[in-house]
Amino acid sequence: MQLGVVFPQTEIGADPVAVRDYAQAAEGLGFEHMIIFDHVLGADTSHHKGWTGTYTSKDMFHEPFVVYGYLAALTERMELVTAVIILGQRQTALVAKQAAEVDVLSGGRLRLGIGTGWNHVEYEALGEDFHNRGRRSEEQIALMRALWTQAIVNFEGRWHRVDNAGLNPLPVQRPIPVWLGGGAEPVIRRVGRIADGWFPQFPPDDKAAAILDRMRGYAREAGRDPASIGIETRVNVAGSGPDEWSRQAKAWEGLGATHLSVNTMNAGLTSPQEHIDAIRRFKEAMAG
């Protein structure tokens, strides 16, 4: 499995030097990719009664494409991964443009993870429809892939129209890999039919094996080789240690995972250096 890190988005702070140092440390330790989460806006829960979302206005989120434009010049080998950009709350052509630019500036190192999200406050603020976000996503993927591979695009869909227009420059990767997040049954089916990879979020147990088998069945039904679909999973540092990290990694490898990332958030770490120390310990455990 390819090993990566989850950028400690909510705990890294706003110092650009810390962002640089973390990314360069991860690459220097031999991690092959970095994942960044996405939220444009955080809701003030004092004005949103009954809020059940994971994040609020108190949680810091750097903007993924801007961060990766910055890190494209400060790293050399590490793959830059969004997991996930909330595609439904953004203009599709603009996401395609931003992704292409990061891919160009990084020399073809972007992997675009996308999802439909859960934050209705963000959707409203960004002027997009929260209620049809899943249905729109397949058309969004099709349009982005067209824009990444064709100099001039004519596209007429249910929600999008592009009349003889195109991106310039085109990305290095044509198309950029599109991976999906989420675990609802329509998402699992969509992964099997059209995605380059998936970010499942469940433990590596018998239930996980059944879900993965179902996804691979959808791939075969679509005439695809299930082995061509990547699987990226995650190990949390919080509440566990090296033995458990190794156990989970081996279990995921046995289930066919292709990528594994370590998440150091919510583990009581109080500085960027402590996050760097934590990913170093994880890398040592994986090598042991």
CA atoms within 13 A on the CB side of 140: 28
Domain count, the chain: 1
What's residue 288's pLDDT? 78
Query: How far is 119 from 122, CA to CA, in rounded Å?
Result: 6
What CATH number has the domain bearing residue 54?
Answer: 3.20.20.30
Per-residue pLDDT of the chain (288 residues; tens, 9 = 90+): 999 999 999 999 999 999 999 999 999 999 999 999 999 999 999 999 899 999 999 999 999 999 999 999 999 999 999 999 999 999 999 999 999 999 999 999 999 999 999 999 999 999 999 999 999 999 999 999 999 999 999 999 999 999 999 999 999 999 999 999 999 999 999 999 999 999 999 999 999 999 999 999 999 999 999 999 999 999 999 999 999 999 999 999 999 999 999 999 999 999 999 999 999 999 999 997
Contacts of 279 (CB under 8 A, 6+ apart): 5, 25, 26, 29, 31, 262, 264
> What is the Cα Rg of the chain in Å?
19
Q: How many CB atoms lie within 10 A of CB 226?
A: 16
Query: How far is 273 from 276, CA to CA, in rounded Å?
Result: 5
Contacts of 194 (CB under 8 A, 6+ apart): 138, 141, 222
- Write out the two tokens for 211: 């879900």
What's residue 37's pLDDT? 97
Query: How far is 245 from 243, CA to CA, in rounded Å?
Result: 5
CA atoms within 13 A on the CB side of 176: 33
What's residue 135's pLDDT? 92
Query: How far is 14 from 72, CA to CA, in rounded Å?
Result: 18
Give me the amino acid identity at 214.
Answer: R
- Burial class of 91 by CB neighbour count within 10 A (0 to 12, 13 to 18, 19+): middle
What's residue 91's pLDDT? 98
Q: What is the DSSP letter of 141?
A: H
Domain containing 102 equals 2-287
Cis check: omega of the bond before 187, within 30 degrees of 0:
no
Please write down the long-range contacts of 38-41, taking CB distance under 8 Å and 24 or more positions apart: 38/63, 38/64, 38/82, 38/84, 38/85, 38/86, 39/86, 39/119, 39/122, 40/86, 40/89, 40/122, 40/125, 40/126, 41/119, 41/121, 41/122, 41/125, 41/126
| Chain-centre distance for alpha carbon 237 | 19
Query: How far is 213 from 281, CA to CA, in rounded Å?
Result: 33
